[in-house]
Amino acid sequence: MIQQPPRLKLFDLLIFALVAAGLAWLMGAITAQSHYNWQWEVIPQYLLRLDDATQKWVPGMILTGLFITLRISFWATLSALVIGTIMGAMKSGRSHYLKMVATAYVETIRNIPVIVWIFIFYYFLGDIIVPLTGLDRAVNMNEGLLRQFLTTFVSDPSLLPVFFSATASLALYEGAYFTEIIRAGIESIEKGQWEASSSLGFTRFQQLRHVILPQALRRMLPPMAGQIISTIKDSSIVSVISIQELTFQGMELMSATFLTFEVWLTILALYFIVCFCCSMGVAAVERRLTQNM
């Protein structure tokens, strides 16, 4: 059946106008009630400013924070996807021991609040894990290609241990949700697919890699998109362990300038833009996968 694209009717327009009017009234009422003295002109310099010394445009505090948010979200999502794929495969696999490990992981993480987990990781586990990785020695790293790479794509070497704590705790947290999404995806594939690929002489890994996962991916994509966006939003929680990401910079700026509303509305808009772009990206991937069917 070919679906007709939905057409806008007069009724829809009416509803739209009502919602818009309601929002406008609300904004007006908030401004009037709190007698707020808006100072929007202060905000742009925190986004982008002209450096006096070098005469170049450099990102201000808010944009610097946004870049850190993007880096944390990127590395956390990537690691969470890897953890989720391994754990998801383990959980839907045949080995009872591996299944137990994966279940224990998911149940532990999923039943504790993210903010408590991040605190515990930062104050207790991080102190044990970070020295093992040798990241604490990176603080005194000299100039060089590696340092440049780290500063551009990961974090300033001096802040690397804290950055690692934040990213790892977030990745482990989100990984539990990815595990369940991937497990559900794998298990939704019909038994016949396993049997058919098995009869072709595929090993279990080959079955997963060539037959099951490509089909499961299409089903996993919508909930995964939600989880990726959640990861970006949850990254704001690492502000509690003083990672200087978008939310933290917003709080710092608010403490210094006392411009509560302007700062928060700017931060809100930036999060929205980033998350909305992600939504669009996943929707595009989904369309391509459906076309290739």
- Residues of the shown chain interacting with another protein in the complex, contacts defined by CB under 8 A: 34-35, 37, 42, 45-46, 49, 51, 60-61, 64, 91-92, 94, 96, 99-101, 103-104, 107-108, 120, 123-125, 127-128, 139-140, 158, 162, 183, 187, 191, 194, 239-242, 244, 248, 251-260
Distance of CA 151 to the CA centre of its chain: 20
Residue 59, φ and ψ in degrees, nearest 5: -65, 140
What's the closest the beta carbon of residue 66 comes to another protein, in angstroms? 13
Question: In the 8-state DSSP scheme, what is residue 36?
Answer: -
Smallest distance from the beta carbon of 238 to another protein, in angstroms? Answer: 11
| Residues ≥6 apart with Cβ < 8 Å to 217 | 185, 289
Q: Which of 81, 189 has the CB closer to another protein?
A: 189
Helices and strands (DSSP H and E) totals, the chain: 13, 2
- Is the CB of 45 or the CB of 279 nearer to another protein? 45
Cβ proximity to another protein: between 252 and 286 the closer is 252
Closest approach, Cβ 212 to another protein, in A, equals 10
Shortest Cβ distance from residue 185 to another protein (Å)? 13
Taking the C-alpha atoms of residue 257 and residue 144, their distance in angstroms, rounded to an integer, is 37
What's the distance, CA 16 to chain centroid? Answer: 31
Contact 84, 179 (CB under 8 A): yes
Q: Closest separation between CB of residue 197 and another protein, Å?
A: 14
CA 89 to chain centre: 22
State which residue, 42 or 283, has the beta carbon closest to another protein: 42
112 CB-near residues (< 8 Å, 6+ apart): none
Alpha carbon distance 128, 97 (integer Å): 26
Pick between residue 46 and residue 228 the one whose CB is nearest to another protein: 46
Least separation in angstroms between residue 275's CB and another protein is 24
Which one, 51 or 144, has the nearer CB to another protein? Answer: 51
**How far is residue 119 CA from its own chain's centroid?**
18
